[in-house]
Amino acid sequence: MTPFGARVRGLRTERGITLTQLAEALQVSAAYLSALEHGKRGAPSAGLVHQVNEYFGLIWDDADDMAHLAKLSNPRVTVNTAGLTPEQTALANRLAQAIHRLPPETVAALHAVLDTTTPQPKPRLRRTARKAQSEKRAAG
């Protein structure tokens, strides 16, 4: 189950709404909605997230949370480690191989570690290349 699917199912359950009722209201098939909830379909589109928010009356922070959950709900993740360190590549591979065995406490601890890291700015390749060229011209 994906984070978005779990939240949609929780909202349906809290409000006594069946999968079929929600599917009809969103104009999607019940099979599609079930597959989305269970993580057997890709992340939902922004349009579907908006429809879900409207259906359940979610606004502001709750609507933003749903959009964030949708972004975290791709059940088939690909990690491109090209250009990363060998340690980073090894970590990505170990995580891919072991994630299904991790207990909830470990998953929560990993989330906590990632939450404390600050994103590093991406280098601007064009600007960096131009700067190197101009430095080379100035030196030569």
pLDDT at 122: 63
What's this model's pTM, rounded to 2 decimal places?
0.68
pLDDT at 20: 97
Question: Which domains, ranges and CATH numbers included, belong to the chain?
Answer: 3-71 (1.10.260.40), 78-117 (no CATH)
Tens digit of each residue's pLDDT (9 = 90 or more) over 6-23: 999 999 999 999 999 999
What value does the mean pLDDT take over residues 52-57?
97
pLDDT at 127: 57
Residue closest to 95 by CA, chosen among 112, 117, 77, 120: 77
What value does the mean pLDDT take over residues 35-49?
93
CA distance 35 to 73: 12
